[in-house]
Structures are given as structure tokens and as C-alpha cells.
Amino acid sequence: MVRPTHEVEYEQMLLSRHEVMRHRAGRLERSAYVLLSRIRLQGPMSIGELSDAFGLDASTLNRQTAAAMRAGLLERIPDPAGGIARKFRITGEGARLLDEERAFVMSGLDKVMADWPDEDIATFAAYLRRFNTDIERLSGRPWPRPADTDRSADASLNA
């Protein structure tokens, strides 16, 4: 029996091409969006920590963090724990642009799923989380997620 993973592959490919899911021109690039999201959730991180988290070499992350610093999205700070490595922290402007971008993405998702019952959206989100956490488990790079209480609070604010 052939497993339906080919259907998942095809739908995933189609998902990446839809304009409603893409970021606006002139706003945060995808790499900055992901980088800022990770630092916001985890707190200040060094190049080494970012390299481990993303599975990217330090030179790639040096380019990404340098661009984010030039744009005023990140700043370098001494390690709050007293370590030698300097760390990157999201700036107020970075947080503001991240919030704007996230709102834009959620607005697009709200349009796509306007006719979906909340139960279907929650089920879809649960499957996406399972899919992502299984990828993270296999890669050995878990991604931090907001506490369940934070998601519940966010949901109640949007109700």
C-alpha cells in the first residue's frame, strides 16, 4: 500500500507558493521574521546558540544578524549570564515590525479560513504542530513554543 505522503509533499509545495502566505515586500524578510521570532521567544542568543538552533553555519548567521542590526531590529549585548560571548537581543523596533508582520500573516490566514469553524482551525493547528515537532525531533533541533496558557490568553483576547 502506498502511503499518502506524496499528497502531503504536493500540498506543502502548493502552500509555499500562495501570495497570502508570503511576506509583504519592504517588510521583514522571511529569515528576519524567523530569527526575530526565535530570539523573542527564547531571549538573547549568541551566534553559536543561533547556529545550533537553526542548523546553519556561523557565517550565514553572521550575515543575517548583521543585516538585522543594520536595520535596527537586533542589538548586541553582553551575555546576561556573564559568559564571554555577546548575544543578540531584539530591539523595540524589531519587536514592533515583528508584531506588524505577524498581524499581517494572521490577517491572511483569517481570510483563508474565514468559513472554517474554530474547531477545524484548532485541529489543523494541532496537526501542523505535530508535523513540526516530529521534524524537530528527527533533526534534534526543538523549537520553543509559547506556553499553553499564553496561547489560551491570546485566544480569549481575540474572541
**Residue 60 pLDDT > 80, yes or no?**
yes
Write out pLDDT tens, residues 64-106. Answer: 999 999 999 999 999 888 888 899 999 999 999 999 988 888 8
pTM greater than 0.75 (yes/no): yes
Full DSSP string of the chain: ---THHHHHHHHHHHHH-GGGSPPTTS--HHHHHHHHHHHHH--B-HHHHHHHHT--HHHHHHHHHHHHHTTSEEEE--TT--SS-EEEE-HHHHHHHHHHHHHHHHHHHHHTTTS-HHHHHHHHHHHHHHHHHHHHHHT-------HHHHHHHHHHH-
pLDDT at position 81 is 85
